[in-house]
Amino acid sequence: MERSTIVRVQDGLHARPATRFVRLAKGFESDVEIIKGEKAVSAKSSVKLMLLGVKENDEVSIRADGADAIEAVDALIAYLENPMSGVEEGVGELAKAPAAETPAPAAPAAPAAPLVADGGLHGVAASAGLGLGPVFAHFPQQIVPNNTTLSAGEIEPEKQRFAEAIQRLQEKLDRSLASDGMQESDRGIVAALRDIASDDALRDETLAAIDGGLDAVSAVIAASSRLADDFRKLDDAYMAARAEDMEAIARQICLTLLGQEDARLDDIPEGAILVAEDIGAWDLARAPLKRLGGVVCGHGGATSHVAIIARTHGIPAVLGLGEAVNELRDAKQAAIDGHTGQVVVEPDAATRARFEEMIGAAAREREALRVYKDVVPRRADGAVIQVAANLGSLEEVEAAQEAGAMGVGLFRTELLFMRHMHLPSEDMQAETYAELARAFPDHPVIVRTLDIGGDKPISGVEFPEEENPFLGWRGIRMCLDRTDIFKVQLRALLRAAVHGNLRVMLPMVSTVEEVRRTRVLIDECAAELKAEGVAHGEFPLGVMIETPAAVFGAEALAKEVAFFSIGTNDLTQYVMAADRLNPSVANLNDAAHPAVMAAVEQAARAAVAAGIEIGMCGEAAARTDLIPEFIRMGLTELSMSPASVQATKKQLSELFEKAG
């Protein structure tokens, strides 16, 4: 069985999408290959798959031979054709540049030039920010191959020793992944590395070397070096950086074979600059990252996993210093500029003063905003303005809580659908929504029902070819036609409603009839759950105001629902007739345009007159130039990225203080 397709996975089959693709392939008994050009490799080896260099928009074929060949080909083709297949455990493309799971600390503005004009060392500016602190040198002993020649009788025991080492390492990494101290973004990186550690490519090359008479440690080093060289030959910078992952994995296997452990990083002092020739991603992910003032490495670049972890946690990092990193082995103090890639060893008083001044300014800015975490903005009449968070997954909850978000103004349920190869079950959805509600016990949590179509297709739903999908079968329109999908979600939401202040809103609403038809389905679902003896609750039902029809019909809609939420992203493109994904008309796609603001005000007037709540969950909700107008119009909720919550609370507090 063989079929061809065009790869739609964002950025292609790099580390994490490759790992997920391989896991899917391993679920089938058939032998499965992926073919690009004249080269075919096993679809069950993530290393071989990454080395194939499959990029977005490449044409590939899937070939399977076995009892479940048809199912295997269908599933793998579906994965490759889904534009969001690269999503692992969060929102968007995480493997190449994961979004911060907590709001990154505000970094000082990038200096126009290095802070020390002619001094210091220079490497790759891998993570922005400034660091100044004591050096924590991490230079574990190198593992040198013995190149021992085995006798014929020693080969099989040595292969068994290698297999046992792989198993012990897997168990160690599994324990690391199960710990509570690791963020989800870091966990995904470590999980991908864990799978590579026992990949067929590394295993087969190592076993072949042992068969040739080489001891296991030397065989691992030889095999990993060859594979690392293959990665370095690739013309993709991100994929070439996986050579470092291969070498780091080989080191861990060798340490396990030798019964040794790398020096741990638990004793890093507060504000220290971690200096290493190289450091494994899982070692860094398990380190006390909140204590780090910076990271300096001899190896690595902006696309290495060490750089990704540093950026995720807002830690300044300079990598790729090469042999020059040895100048820091015995240093007492260092200053690093993650904007320019400069590292100053033993900075003088003037340099320390410049770094301290800029680091202090950034800290004061962060601290000034942090005091607004628990602030509850109130108008002069006592009305509370909810500053909530827009979320796409449970992994983002911690960031919202840390920022002081007053609940969730938009939970995008389509991402739950996009990241699975099959439609999520009722139980899976119910637990997700329930956990979300439990995370914000004192605030409302607004869940948007499935909003797919247009730019957001999913596996399991076949969309028709449309000339303009943004004006087509999407949002509530699709859901009302596919009640087999919609009712599963509504049942899950009713079940989750017993766990907190859950609210539900409908996307892409144009008519009152769409709301009424949804209410009929909700009543049907509630009756079914009652008959089945399943615990469930009720939830307020609202609509998104994002079509001109909803604006013009706002007065009638307000009589049918409990609240409005304005989605300015789509509302702007529909009011201005300007596709928000088309750069040619980007100048028209501005929520501040008088026509868009007039639409917002018309919807707000209808909501206020009907006595229902009205909020906003589009990007404009955090715009400092527009917030005063939204408050004047009567909006009582603004929902945004967690990183904008504290700044918005500050602006609202100052606005109300002046008004008072």
Active-site annotation, residues: 305, 617
Tokens 């470590």 correspond to what residue?
190
Report the interhelical angle of 349-370 vs 645-659 (nearest 10°): 70
Q: Which residues pair with 342 in a beta bridge?
A: 122, 337
Considering just the CA atoms, what is the radius of gyration of the chain in Å? 27
Taking the C-alpha atoms of residue 281 and residue 172, their distance in angstroms, rounded to an integer, is: 14
- The rounded Cα 605 to chain-centroid distance in angstroms is 37
Question: Contact 411/391 with Cβ under 8 angstroms?
Answer: yes
Taking the C-alpha atoms of residue 64 and residue 78, their distance in angstroms, rounded to an integer, is: 15
Q: Which residues pair with 506 in a beta bridge?
A: 543
Burial letters 559-591, b for 16+ CB under 10 A, else e = ebbebbbbbbbbbbbbbbebbbeeeeeeebbeb
Query: From start to end of 66-184, where are the E strands?
Result: 121-122, 124-127, 130-138
Q: Where are the alpha helices (DSSP H) in 440-482?
A: 476-481
State the number of CA atoms in the 13 A half-sphere of 209 facing the CB. Answer: 23
Residue 310: what residue type? A
What tokens appear for 129 in the block? 């920010």
Give the number of other Cβ atoms within 10 Å of residue 363's Cβ: 13
Tokens 């956990």 correspond to what residue?
435
Taking the C-alpha atoms of residue 45 and residue 195, their distance in angstroms, rounded to an integer, is: 9
Residue 591: what residue type? A
- Residue 518 host element (H or E): helix 512-531
Give the CA-trace dihedral at 602, 607, 613, 617, to 10 degrees: -30
Phi, psi (degrees; rounded to nearest 5) at 303: -105, 5
Taking the C-alpha atoms of residue 136 and residue 130, their distance in angstroms, rounded to an integer, is: 16
- Residue 495 host element (H or E): helix 483-496
Taking the C-alpha atoms of residue 461 and residue 464, their distance in angstroms, rounded to an integer, is: 10
Taking the C-alpha atoms of residue 257 and residue 172, their distance in angstroms, rounded to an integer, is: 13
**Going by C-beta distance under 8 Å and a sequence separation of 6 or more, which residues neighbour residue 99?**
90, 91, 92, 185, 312
593: nearest Cα among 618, 617, 616, 568: 568
Residue 38: what residue type? E
Taking the C-alpha atoms of residue 490 and residue 495, their distance in angstroms, rounded to an integer, is: 9
